[in-house]
Each structure stands twice: as structure tokens, then as C-alpha cells.
Structure 1
Amino acid sequence: MNRNYIIPDAWSIIEDKFEADHVKSSESLFSIGNGAMGQRANFEEDYSGPSFQGSYIGGVYYPDKTRVGWWKNGYPEYFAKVLNAPNFIGIHIKINDEVFDLHQCKEVNNFRRELNMKEGWHKRTFISKLQNDIEIKVEALRFLSLDHEELGAIQYQITPLNSDAKIEYTPYIDSGIKNQDTNWDDKFWETTDVDIDDEQAFIESHTLKTEYKVCTFMQSQFLIDDEIVKLSVQSEKEDLKASLSYSKEIKKDQTFTIHKFAGYTTSLNHQENELTSAAKNVLSKAVDLGFEELLSKQKQAWAEIWRMSDITIEGDVEAQQGIRFNIFQLNQTYSGKDARLNIGPKGFTGEKYGGSTYWDTEAYCLPFYMATKNQQVAKNLLIYRYRHLEKAIENAEKLGFKNGAALYPMVTMNGEESHNEWEITFEEIHRNGAIAYAIFNYHRYTGDYSYIPEMGMEVLIAIAKFWQQRASFSTHKNKYVILGVTGPNEYENNVNNNFYTNYVAQWCINYMLENLNILKLDYFDDYQRIIEKTKLTSEEISEMRKVAAEMYFPYSEEHQVYLQQDGFLDKEMIKVDDLDPNQRPINQYWSWDRILRSPYIKQADTLQGFYFFEDHFSREELERHFDFYEPFTVHESSLSPCVHSIQAASLDRMEQAYEFYLRTSRLDLDDYNKEVEEGCHITSMAGTWMSIVEGFGGMRIKNGNLHFSPKIPQQWNSYSFKVNFRGKVLTVNVEQNKVDFKLDGAPKMNVFVNGEKRQILDKA
């Protein structure tokens, strides 16, 4: 199987040959979404070959009861699962009474599949010979509307090439679906009503346990050679399915087109008893506008997104394709319009990781949305966490913490912890630090302090309480230690004194105390309200100060580096370059026991601390730590290469930075981890953006100003990006021998380039 089969193109993802072995991978890579829903790139027509069917609705999930061999106190009751939603894309097709199925055809020629990222649509074209020897040309185009978030639109065209043919289109909607990812093979959906009203069809269903109500709907129009035709219809209702059949004798070289409008209305946005009427309103607007007008509006909406978020690269089409693919998928997954939603690691491209929220959002995604949207979009991600604060406190209480200490979940849909691996659920507690860091990062970037007195301070206090209670005093070390944790490197479980965890715990406490003083001086009413609400005592504050001041960090005098954790040097220190390449990735060839005893690092761990807190360390310290840890890093997490790319660039190691950039930007397109058929790595895609803007562009925020230390890979002629910084849109263009800036939204702006101040004037 050729994993690297995507054709290089600046604006599109393209494959130019039909191969059954690629179908599931392409279903991931060519996925489409609009922030409210998304779907894998399944074929509209029947397909009997291997396939992974998936359509997903943002915010709709099922609490799948946890399945473990040995239950432990405090264990999450369930793992939240994003649900495979009822299928609305389906079109059953017959040609002269033979079912059309690419897997059964005699020949498939001139196959081309394109995901047009510039305009936001997915298209397939091919010529196929059926078993009955009828040869047809097919063109199928679909998109999920950005303007009408409950609507999808499909244009499916068939042209008989070697004879006249009777073509039968049977568009359908189907709630008889299931998740591939399920713990107990539970039934996730209950269908309550299947209805056909004239040529509109509706299925009302609801999720079990969570009781989300969904109406799946459709309506179709038909054309022959671009002329709308009215056809007789035969309708069929089944327990879980509604179908409408249309047939027509089509002459050789005539084109028979179906426009199918379909989608979902949900109880997240409508009254439960008004879902069908809301669906009818969506269909009425869709039919009035028509497919071509909807497509035109789709192109305009994507043009507006790209106007702000595009990154251009001249001279390296694979690098250009990679970054645009990442930016496109991020914008498909999260629009920022709804603070109830967040960003799952697979977005709308698959079921792995449950579609839930991880610390990836705060650590990797927030910078992208801060810089390419207005600040409210990023603020909504912080509001999401504030709304889950009570659940985070409950999560901590289940583990024995008290007095309002909060442990934010590793995995969640509604604020409850729902991860089902004990070494993650109980031990990967550094995620608390990412939540606090996001508050700091948002204020640093936007200059908007309002979130902290309004909401953020309560979050910071609850997190600081957790760290104060989680640390314990070691009389042997005469320091506070944090025992039994898993750091960002998940190839190390149940370790003591993970450097990154201890460092972020210390920082969280100090950052909370710093802001508490600010509130006491400048926001006294908020200060009093928060102290009363959180019941923060002077004794707790005193204990927090002590924990932060006396935190222990493992250190090697021999190597002059902080150790990833106690005992790291006790391992057999064989570098990655000395491993048998046939044993890579090790997570697919080694036992877990062997991995845990090895020195190999899944992703940046100690170096994650150096990334977050770069200003706390000297360049020489970064260089020592990078040189020590990089040779042991296997980069088997999608979140890994971007941090290393940024740090390699800051150390002027541009060839290494470029290699890491290509790996993160083309992780899915080239299927580095041999798993893309499960879905794309959406949250790590934000790290690709960071690799260019923070890595090659060297963008930092210092004392309320933008600083740049731009560098450029030798493979590129130039690159450019935009950032929306405090309402001012700055375009940065870097060439091999110069850097230029353009400003929009303000008469002037000061930036610093390699430490030197520059005044940028409005381009107008």
C-alpha cells in the first residue's frame, strides 16, 4: 500500500487513482466540516468494500460505560463518545437495474478526488464500467455550508457514455448506524419517528442516556442537462430509514443530476418539539437559494476565512499543501461561534479519543485561534473551561482532594473526567497547568484582563489548591515533591517528580498569587466576591507559597540538565538513531513493559516546559536540554514535532527545524504514524501553524509588543502569515534576505525585529 499517494498541490488535496486500499485513509483526509458538524468522505452511493462510515454533530455524545478488568476507586464511570450520527449523504443508485457500487464495477478509470481547501468542497470524478457493461461518467460534489450550519448540499451527476440507460436515484436518510468505537456494543440511538411529507423526509431520533434530540432531514431536486425536471416519486418508510426513489430513461451523453439538501436540527439549538419544523425552514431556504447559490456563498465564506488565516509558502509545494491542509481542518472543526463546543483530537474525521476535549486545546490550539480570529473566539475556549469548574472540583473530590481543589479532566465532554486508563486519568495531572497557562497566554496576547476577575481567578485558585494538596513534603530531600504522575511523555507512567509537572505546579501557584494581588489592588469588589466564593484562607495562601518556594526539581550535575523525572538516568540510554528501524514505531512493535523501561520519549516533556516558559531559561540551557532529550525522542505523538521544530529554529538549526515542520504539517497526508484511516490529528495541526509563526517567524509577545526573529528554510523562497494582534492585523512576509510588514486596522504599530524597534504604518 502506497501511503504517500496524495498529489502535491498548493490549494487542494488530490488523489488520481481509485485503489480500494486507500479508501479508508481518503475518507479521513478528504473529510469536510463546518464547525457544527462534519463527516468522513464516504461515498454517497453504495460501497461494499472496506469503509469507515462517520457523520458527527458537535456537542452530541454518549457516556459509554467504562470497561476495565479491575475497577479502582475514583475511576470514571464512562468514556464520552462522539456519536456516529444518522447518515444523510446516502444515494442508492441503479443503472439499468444494476446497483452502482465502485467495489463491484468491472473498471474504474480517470478517477480523481479533490478536497478544494480554498473554496471548501469535496468532489469525485471518474468513468466506470458496470457488470452490465454500461459505461458512465460520474461527478459528485458536496459541502457542509458555513452560512447555514445545519445544512449539507450534494450535487451528483451521471452521464451514460456508451448507450442510453435507465438511471434510478434513491436518496435516503438512515438512523440505523453504529459506532465502531464502543465499549459494550451498546445501542447509542433510539429512533422515534420516520416521516415523509411530500418529497421531504425526516427522521427524529435521540441519544440514549444524554437525550440529545436530532432531526435528520432531506429533500432533492433533479436536472437533465441543466434543466430542472419534475419526476414521479416512490416513497418508502422503514423503522430506521426513509427513502424516495426517482427514475428516468437517460439518453447517451445526457447528464442526469440530483441536488440533495440534507442535514440536522438538534435540541442544542431548538425546542425539542420544533425540530421538524426547523428542518423544514432549513430546506425551504436551501431550495430557494439552490445548489449553485449555496456553493457560491460557500466560496465567499471560505475566502473570508483564508483572508485572515492563510499562510503562503513560495518554492515548496508540499510544505504549502501541508500548512493549508492543517489550517483548513482547524477551521472546519471549530469556528468559535459556540462556547459549548471544543476541539477533539480527531475533530469530525473519526471516533478515536471519543471526540472529547483534551489539554491539546489550551496548549496547542489557543494560539492559532487567538491570532487568526477575533479575541472572542479564543475567549470562548476559556469560558468553556470556566463553565466546567464545578465538575473539575467534583473530579478532584472523587480522588480525595478537598476545599475546592480542582482537577480538570484529561478527557471530557461536559466537565466530568471520562478517560479509561488509570495511568492517564489519575496521573497525567499536568493538564491543570495547561488550563492555567491558557489564561496567562490569552491575557499576554490580547491584553484583555477582563476574563481573570470575571471567571479566570476562580479557576486559578482551584488549580492552585489542587497543587498545594497534591505536593507532599519529603524530609529526605527537604523539598516538596509530587509523586506518582505521568508527564506529557506517556511512555513513562507512575514516575516521581516529573520535571514538567513540578515546574508547572510551581508556576501555577505563583501566577495565581500574582493575580490575587492585582485583584486586591485594582478589582477589590471582584477580589472580595472571589475570596468568599472560593473560601480561600490565609493559611492556604501561606502553604501555597511554601510549596512553590520549596518545590523539588531533579537535576543531573553530570549533564547539567533537569531530569525528566527521578531515575531517568537509570535506564539503558540507547539513542533513537541506534534502534532497529524495523521496530518503529515502538508502540506497534514493543510490549508496554518494554516501552516503560526504555528511555524513549513519546513527545516533548521536559522540553514542553522549556517551550511554555522559554523566558525562564537561557539559550544555553535550552541548547543543553534539547541536545540531551532530542536523541531519545521517538515523536510517536502527533503533538511532538511542532515543539521540537520551534526550538530547533530558535537554536538556528534550520535543517532540523524544517524536517520537524514537514513531519508535523504532513503527518496525516503522508501517514507517518500509519493510522490516518482512523481520522486526522486535528489538535496537533495547530502546532503546525505554531511551527511557522513561532518557529520560523520567531513571534513572541513581550511587554505587550510583538517581537520577531525571522528565519527561513533554504528550501523556501519566501513565506508570509497574518496575525490579529489586539485588533491590528499584521502581515509578515519573510524572504531569504529580508522581512517586510504590512498593517491593517490601525495607523501605526511598533514591532521588534531581532530586538530592534520598528514602526509599521497602515498599508493604506
Structure 2
Amino acid sequence: MSREYIKPNAWSIIEEGWNPDLVKSSESLFSIGNGAMGQRANFEESYSGETFQGSYLAGVYYPDKTRVGWWKNGYPEYFAKVLNAPNYIGIDIFIDGETLDLAAFDRKDIRNYRRELNMKEGWYERTFEIDLSEEKTIKVIARRFLCMNLDELATINYSVKAIKGQMRISFQPYIDAGITNEDSNWDDKFWDIEELQSTDHQGFIRSRTNKTNFYVCTFMQSELYKNGEHVQYADHFDKNDTVVRHKVATQISEGETATLIKYAGYTSSLNYEHFEILDAAKRVLHTAVEKGYPQLLQDQKEAWAQIWSMADIAIKGDLKAQQGIRFNIFQLNQTYSGKDARLNIGPKGFTGEKYGGSTYWDTEAYCIPFYMATKDQKVARNLLKYRYEQLDKAIENAEKLGFSNGAALYPMVTMNGEECHNEWEITFEEIHRNGAMIFAIHNYLKYTGDYSYVPEMGLEVMIGVARFWHQRATFSQRAKKYMILGVTGPNEYENNVNNNWYTNYLAKWCIEQAVNHLDKVKSGHKKDYERIVGLTKISNGEVASWLEVAQNMYEPYDEELGVYLQQDGFLDKEIIPVSDLKPSQRPINQKWSWDRILRSCYIKQADVLQGFYFFEDHFSREQLEKHFDFYEPLTVHESSLSPCVHSIQAAHLGRMDQAYQFYLRTSRLDLDDYNHEVEEGCHITSMAGTWMSIVEGFGGLKIINDIPSFTTRLPEQWDSFSFKINFRDQILKVHVTADKTTVTLEGESTQDVIINGKQIHLEPETVKI
């Protein structure tokens, strides 16, 4: 059951009415970020109620020592955690000496409470009125944003208006390094404070992470305005072991407004030498004050206008669907900008700490298509480069598990390339993630046509992965086939199974890809080929042994049903469709024991159907239909990554009601809190799947022989939808109605496209139907 309280709106996320029970959920939904840092929508002023405080800095992490009941050889030493960074949003408000704290007031005294996340312009605002007494009423408007162009800077505009009475308003802006993570394994101290400074209206805290030695300077400067006129800068008030606090105050009468503008943020040793971060922070503050709040806000609006000009998907006739896709696109752009190849996309982004903020296979399987099509190929290339630069660590990960000769096992969870997941059924067995690395390269080549990545970087990755699959396979004397034993597939509701079809098929395909590209590089890029052979010591004999495995890979299949089996023994289970489960038993991951789940037929997310999604051109429509009809009724969709794949496939099968329902679930998974867990953070990586549901599902985008093809389908709930893709530096705008599909080309050269089966030659700025 969903929990709906967000008001439908095409461009904003809106909450109306004060409800303290929703505070932590809203802190996730109204989170903001700029690719370099982000924060949950915590209150600036004091709040003594339940809250989940969180400000995060991309790329800064701590190796939290693994906590398990029984240590096993090969376990990672730590679980990487994105750190709750020093808090810079804090502004304590005192009205005639009394602390402003919403938790301290009766609900009836708080009126017109409203939050808005304006996605079109990239700012978050909270407004409310409070009856402080019979004689005094105030209105608060607090707006903040993280600058997209100056990604070390955040701004806060906090105003208090006297609706009734007169009062003295005191603002105490502060920065606080005395913070902890919600999810620490051992309550370790993640940060050491090296220096606190408060001078020239500016405050600074220099901190250092333990173990990883990231240096961060948290900074602030604030100024007071009265009725729009500058009054003064906030001056030093107090400093202790963890907090730098400034203060400024003024008297206001009925109708007057006092406003504090606070500039704050982080500089870090990711971008500077550790001894330079303080001076860098001063330069950021100088730029902020020189530009001023109005100009920074205008810059923010223009930055987001540029993003939306390419990334927007416009849906007519269905407001909730429109709000859902824009929320997903907005969060994806807040999480990752593509500017820094050292960074990646965590499943919760900057909205919470679950999953450690680390990188999963979600990036390669779900996220790259979004960034590839809505930005440019450099952004997608940076994501591929991220994995190439961690190849040595992937080889180390495999060595720890007993593999040799440069076999590479990419991590399930990582910050720096080392595996840091500590559940055995994931760490040791969910090895299908290795194949996603190669599929991402394949997807990139097909979409961009940029083959240069393969000889420069990609072929080495393919060789390492092929060596892993070759060594991981076991030859069965009984079946005279190669098998892959003891794995967990994408369906994490089955562990330690033999011959997961998706894993076996992916392994075979990865080897074939490596062999194919070895030949291509040898014939077309001889210098690179010689370099790679010298580096990897690969030989013709080794390649032949790979092919022996690939050509004789076992694929579990049931002749009677005509379907590939999720793994050996799947049909030994009691096959009961999800529709027969009582609602009281759902979700099973919260209601059932793990033992019961593992013995059931129920599927967490697409598994066999994940293979049919990746390799749709390997199978006929009839095969897809047969497998969809067998597996989808057994799928509980208790992974955020599940509805999008099923939406795409339902659309391809012409089952538009089902496709639409899956789309709505993935697009509003967090907005309507389907899983009753949004307070932990939003599902960022599955949001890329939401984009795919429209572009690849309803838009039917495929690349056929280097030509973009669109087979469009319009949900009956929509009047129309439109989107853009950047295909090889040519912009294609697709507009779909019930009557026609229109494609417009923005570019400098011609482009062939296929629209609903008909190949058309487009001239720039022309429209074809």
C-alpha cells in the first residue's frame, strides 16, 4: 500500500500541513544536491523532534570495520560508508529569547505549513506561521539551494516576518563538526577536528576523516537584512570543541521582516592539497558575497533550465505521471553531474546512508543509458573509465577468493574498487555483476559509436572478466557441459543456487565479447593490441580455452514449458502465483523468515527477464511473451529495480495497462512511499530505470545497425509524451500522440531514424512522421 501526501504538481514536490510523523520521510523526498555534495531536508532551526540528520560530500568515505557473527575467509575487511559530513545549515532562531522549535508547539499553533521542492529552478523552500502567543505571530520563509555552477557552495535565505506584534529576532548561524552516522557498525569516530576558526565574519572548521585521511573545510558567512536592506554581517559569538557560532539580531514590528542570508559549504582534499582547503574556502565565500544571493539564485535557475532543456520528459494528461518522471530526472541530476570521473552513483545518492553511498552494478545496468542520452558520451565514458581505473582492485578481489592469472571480479559494493560488502551470499555469490561491466561497454559502443574506448581501456576489462568466468566455470562429466555453481542471481530471494540461467548466459556472452574485440583490436589498433598482449600475457591457447567454456555452457531449460529455468531445481518448488498470497503476507521480506523466502518460488526482481531485457535481440517476441507469462506472476517486485524492467517488457508486448502500472510504481516509488521506507532515503539508481520505462518502453528506443529506432506506444491515460535524446551529438526530439509520432532533428548533419518500422532520412530542423 502506498502512502500519499505529496500534492500533484508538474514541476514541484509539495507538502501541505504540519505533521511531525512525516518529518523523516520529507527529509528524504525534499533532499537537494549538486553532484558534489547534498543534504537531507533537515530544518535550519532547532528541532527536538525525531529527525535523520544528513549532509554528504561526494567521494569522502570511511572504511567501517565489517561486523559479522562468524568471520569467513575472503570477507571484506570493511564496509565503505559515505560520511555524514559537518553540518553547515544550522541557524538557531531566538524570538525575545525563546528558541524557535516546531516540536515545542501545539499543532494548532502552527498554520500554513508548506514545503516545496521546485525542480524546474532547483531550490527547496519551507514556509509556516506560528502563533507564539496571543500577542505575537510570525511567518517563516526558508529557501535554500546548492549551487550547480559553484558546486562547493550552498545558500540559505531565512526570513522571519512579524505578522502580529513586535519582537526581537536573534539569528545564530553555526557550523557543527560534532556529527555521527546513523549506520555506524561499531560507533567509531569517523572524523577528527583539526582546527576551528572564527574571524572577519567568517567561520571555518577543518576536519579529517580517520583511516582514509580526507581533509574537509566546512565554512560559513552570514549577513542580516531588514525589510530588504542590508544591516550587518553576523559576528563571532561562541566557539567550542565542535561548533563555531555567529550571531546577529534586530527588532521588528508588525509587517516587518528580518532575513538572514547564509553562505556555506565544503572544500576538500579531493580537489586541493590539504593545506589549501582553508584558503579555497575563503575564495568561495568571497565569490558568494561578491555575486550576492539574487545573482546566485538567477545562476541556479539558468543552470537548471539548461539541464531541463535536454533531460525533460513532458507528459500531457496525467499529472501524477508527469510529477513522477520529473522527480526522478531531478534527483538523478542532483546526484551525478558527470564532471568528475572519480565519482559514481550511490543507490541512495545524497538522500540517506543506506547501502553506504557506494557504487553497485546499478550504474552499469540502469544508469548509463540515462546519462548517455541526456548529456553526452563524455559523461557515460567517465562512468566506464571509473571501472577501468579500478581494474587492478577487481583483480585483487578475485585473488582474495582464489582466482589467478589476472582474473577480475568487480565488487558488488565499492568506493575505491575494493569489495566492501559483508554478506556472503552477495560478496561471494552475486557474481553476475561482473557481466554488467561488459554489458555497459557494449551498450556504450552501440549507442555512441565510440570504439576508441575499447583499445584504450575496455579490452583490458573484458580480458579480466573473461578470465574470471573461465576459471569460475566447472566442467560436469555427467552432463558434458560447463556449469557455474553456488551463485546468487539478481533474484536475491534465492542464494547458493546452481546454474542461474542469467549468470550462465551472461558469462558465455562476456567471453564471446572478449574474443570478438580481441580480433577487432588486433586488426584495427595494432599498437594497442601489442601493448595489451604484453600487459596481460594473453595467448591463443588461453583464448581457445575460453571458447571451450562459452560454447559448452549449460543453460537450464524445461522442454515441456518451453522456458529457461531460473536455475536448476526451480520447478521442484511449489509454484504458487503472487496473486494467491494474502495481502497480510506482503511484503514477504518483512513478514516471512529468510528460510521460508529461500524455499519459495517468489522472485524479488527480474532475473531470467533481466537477461531478456539485456539481450532482447537474442530472443523472439514469442519467447519473451512465454517467459514473461511464466516469471512475472511469481515476482513480488520487492526491489526498486524490478518494476522498470517489467514495464519495458510489458510495453514491448503491447500490454499497456500492465506497463503503465509498473511505470507508475517505479516513478512514484518514493513519492508515494510504496515500501514504507522512504525515510531512509530515495531510490536513486532505480530512477534511471523510470526514465528507461518511458524512453525504451513507451518510446521503444533501440539502436538497430547504428540507426535509432522508435516503436512508440501511448498509455491510454496520457494525451501525449515527448523526450529528447543526444544520439552521437545529434539531438532527436520525439513527440508521441495517439495519432502520430513526430521526430525533430537538431544538429548539423542528416540522420536516419526508424519510426514504427519505417526508415526515414531526416534533415536538420525537419519534422518527419
| TM-score normalised by L of structure 1 | 0.99
Does 1:24 find its partner at 2:51?
Answer: no
Which residue of the other structure, out of 601, 624, 637, is the alignment partner of 1:622? Answer: 624
Task: Give 2:104's aligned amino acid.
Answer: Q
Residue 56 of structure 1 pairs with residue 52 of structure 2: no
CA contact (8 A) 2:699 2:713 kept: yes
In 2, the alpha carbon distance for the partners of 1:439 and 1:161 equals 60
| Residue 727 of structure 2 corresponds to residue 725 of structure 1 | yes
Contact preservation (8 Å) 1:31, 1:41: yes
Q: Is the 8 A contact 2:660 2:715 kept in 1?
A: yes
Moved more, 516-525 or 487-496: 516-525
Alpha carbons 2:747, 2:764 under 8 Å: kept: yes
Aligned equivalents of 1:129 and 1:271: distance in 2? Answer: 50
Instruction: Give the distance between the partners of 2:83 and 2:469, measured in 1 at CA.
Output: 35
In 2: Cα distance, 1:762 partner to 1:582 partner: 57
Task: Please tell me whether residue 513 in structure 1 is matched to residue 515 in structure 2.
Answer: yes
Q: For 1:321-470, what aligned pairs fall within 5 Å after superposition?
A: 321-470=323-472
Structure 2: which amino acid aligns with 1:299? Answer: K
User: CA contact under 8 A between 1:718 and 1:736: conserved in structure 2?
Assistant: yes
Deviations 1:109-128 (Å, cap 9, x if unpaired)?
Answer: 01110000000000011101
Alpha-carbon separation, structure 1, partners of 2:197 and 2:400: 45
Q: Deviations over 1:341-400 (max 9, x none)?
A: 000000000000000000000000000000000110000000000000000000000000
Q: 1:355 to 1:231 in 2, by over 3 A?
A: closer
Establish whether residue 34 from structure 1 lines up as the match of residue 73 from structure 2: no
> Residue type of the partner of 1:450?
S
Hey, what does 2:190 align to over in structure 1? 188
- Equivalent of 2:557, from 544, 555, 558? 555
Matches within 5 A, 1:561-580: 561-580=563-582
Q: Deviations over 1:410-430 (max 9, x none)?
A: 000000000010000000000
Q: Which residue of 1 aligns with 2:159?
A: 157
Measure how far apart 1:133 and its partner are: 6.0
How far apart in 2 are the matches of 1:570 and 1:20? 49
Does the 8 A contact of 2:201 with 2:236 survive in 1?
Answer: no
AA aligned to 1:89 is: I
> How far 1:761 moved relative to its partner?
2.2
The answer (yes or no) to whether the contact 1:100–1:130 under 8 Å persists in 2 is: no
1:583-631 per-position Cα deviation (integer Å, ceiling 9, x unaligned): 1111011110010000000000000000000000000000000000000
Could you list the per-position Cα deviations for residues 710-751 of structure 1 after superposition, in whole angstroms to 9, with x for gaps in the alignment?
000000000000000000000000001100011111342110
Seen in structure 2, the aligned counterparts of structure 1 residues 132 and 467 have a Cα distance that, compared at 3 Å, is farther
Q: Residue in 2 aligned with 1:299?
A: 301
Alpha-carbon distance between aligned partners in 2 of 1:600 and 1:312, rounded to the nearest angstrom: 36
2-structure distance, mates of 1:171, 1:271: 28
| Aligned residue in 1 for 2:491 | 489
CA distance in 1, matches of 2:314, 2:68: 48
SS at match of 1:497: coil
- SS at the partner of 2:287? helix
Give the superposition deviation at 1:650. 0.3
- The RMSD of aligned alpha carbons is 1.0
Letter in 2 for 1:9: N
Contact 1:104 1:131 in 2 (8 A): no
Aligned to 1:309: 311
2:197 is paired with a residue of what secondary structure?
strand
Q: Which residue of 2 aligns with 1:274?
A: 276
User: Residue 114 of structure 1 corresponds to which residue in structure 2?
Assistant: 116
State the secondary structure of the residue aligned to 1:206.
strand
CA contact (8 A) 1:105 1:131 kept: no
For 1:234 and 1:104, the matched residues in 2 are separated by: 28
Residue 572 (structure 1) shift = 1.1
- SS of the equivalent of 1:503 reads helix
Question: For this pair of structures, how many residues does the alignment match?
Answer: 764
CA contact (8 A) 1:168 1:245 kept: yes
Contact (CA 8 Å) 2:199, 2:236: kept in 1 or not?
A: no
List per-residue Cα deviations over 1:306-357 (Å, max 9, x = no partner).
0000000000000000000000000000000000000000000000000000
Give the structure 2 partner of residue 762 of structure 1.
764
Q: Which amino acid aligns with 1:76?
A: P
Distance in 1 (CA, whole Å) between partners of 2:484 and 2:458 is 25
| Corresponding letter in the other structure for 2:610 | Q
Q: Is the 8 A contact 2:35 2:58 kept in 1?
A: yes
Is structure 2 residue 138 aligned with structure 1 residue 136? yes
Write the distance in 1 (CA, Å) between the matches of 2:446 and 2:498.
32
Give the gaps of 5 or more residues in structure 1: none
Q: Is the 8 A contact 1:66 1:76 kept in 2?
A: yes
Q: Is the 8 A contact 1:357 1:413 kept in 2?
A: yes
- Where 1:587 maps in the other structure, the secondary structure is helix
* Matched residue, 1:543: 545
CA contact 2:353–2:681 (8 Å) conserved in 1: yes
Show the 5 A alignment for 1:599-618. Answer: 599-618=601-620
Work out the CA distance in 2 between the residues paired with 1:233 and 1:362. Answer: 49
For 2:57, the aligned partner's letter is: I
Say which of 703, 708, 711 aligns to 1:701. 703
| Equivalent-residue separation in structure 2 for 1:90 and 1:654 (angstroms) | 48
CA distance in 2, matches of 1:231, 1:216: 18
- Residue 232 to residue 327, structure 1, CA distance change in 2 (3 Å): closer
For structure 2, list consecutive stretches of 5 or more residues without a partner in the other structure: none
1: CA distance, partners of 2:447 / 2:219: 43
Cα displacement (A) at 1:131: 6.2
1:3: how far off? 2.3
Contact 1:157 1:257 in 2 (8 A): yes
Residue in 2 that maps onto 1:202: 204
CA 1:195/1:232 → structure 2, altered by over 3 Å: closer, same or farther? closer
**In structure 2, what residue type is equivalent to 1:22?**
L
The 3-state SS of whatever aligns with 1:83 is strand
Find the aligned partners of 1:165 and 1:325 in 2 and give their Cα distance.
Answer: 40
Deviation at residue 162 of structure 1 after TM alignment: 1.6
Deviations 1:448-489 (A, max 9, x none): 000000000000000000000000100111100000000000
- Name the structure 2 match of 1:87: 87
Deviating more after overlay: 105-114 vs 696-705: 105-114
Please tell me whether the aligned partners of residues 104 and 130 of structure 1 are also in contact (alpha carbons under 8 angstroms). Answer: no
Contact 2:605 2:642 in 1 (8 A): yes
Quote the residue 1:7 is aligned against. Answer: 7
1:536 CA drift (Å): 1.2
- Write out per-residue CA displacement over residues 135-185 of structure 1, whole angstroms, 9 at most, x where no aligned residue: 110000000000100000000000122210011100000000000011101
Task: Give the match for residue 103 of structure 1.
Answer: 103
Is the 1:395–1:408 Cα contact (8 Å) retained in structure 2?
yes
Would the aligned equivalents of 1:30 and 1:41 in 2 still touch at CA under 8 Å? yes
Pairwise CA distance, 1:232: 7.0
Q: Deviations over 1:479-537 (max 9, x none)?
A: 00000000000001000000000000000000010000101111111111101101112
What secondary structure does 1:634 align onto? coil
Q: CA deviation at 1:82?
A: 0.3
- Shift of the 651–2 alpha-carbon distance from structure 1 to 2, 3 Å rule, reads closer
CA contact (8 A) 2:341 2:383 kept: yes
Residues 561, 132 of structure 1: CA spacing in aligned structure 2 closer, same or farther, 3 A cutoff? same
DSSP 3-state at the match of 1:530: helix
Pair 1:223 & 2:225 matched: yes
The match for 1:66 is: 66
> Which residue does the alignment assign to 1:584?
586
- Give the secondary structure class of the aligned counterpart of 1:6: coil
CA separation in 2, counterparts of 1:457 and 1:763?
38
Aligned position for 2:670: 668
Alpha-carbon distance in 1 for matches of 2:691, 2:24? 26
Query: In 1, distance between residues paired with 2:75 and 2:220?
Result: 42
Q: 1:245 aligns with which of 237, 244, 247?
A: 247
2:596 paired residue number: 594
Amino acid at match of 1:33: G
Distance 2:611 2:560 in 1: 21
Post-superposition offset of 1:234:
4.5
Q: Using the alignment, how far apart are the partners of 1:502 and 1:129 within structure 2? A: 66
